[in-house]
Amino acid sequence: MNVNFNEELDLLTKNKNIYFFLGFLAKALFDKNIFNKNETINLFLTKEIKLNLKPYILSSRTLIVAFTIKHILQKGYKENMSVSLYNHILRVTKERENDEPIKIRHRKNKKDESLQWITKILGK
């Protein structure tokens, strides 16, 4: 997680504004580092916000966010929602720190390949 996200996470616990919470919730639901699968989003929403989504909604994160925001606006915002989101994000980041670092595969860059002839001519 970057520094800006940590600052927003701290603001989440201090700020009681529903629109700040909804924006942060949308950002968190779209983040694959926090919710790596749509199924984990469903588990979180079912447990913490008491929202059961239909399978066709779970196929798209955009639909998930839209229905979640609509549900919260209709039913009302509760402070425990922001606390549970905060706790979930902290739990996920601690688990990620304990896991082995993810190996990133570097793909060949076409730009690098197209410039190889220059490096061979220059003898580098």
pLDDT tens column, 40-58? 999 988 888 888 999 999 9
In a domain, 113, yes or no: no
In a domain, 14, yes or no: yes
In a domain, 29, yes or no: yes
**CA 89 to CA 83: how far, in whole Å?**
10
In a domain, 115, yes or no: no
In a domain, 93, yes or no: yes
**CA 113 to CA 122: how far, in whole Å?**
15
Based on the structure, what is the number of domains in the chain? 1
Which range marks the domain in which residue 62 is found?
3-100
pLDDT tens column, 48-100? 888 899 999 999 999 999 999 998 888 887 766 777 777 777 787 777 766 65
In a domain, 117, yes or no: no
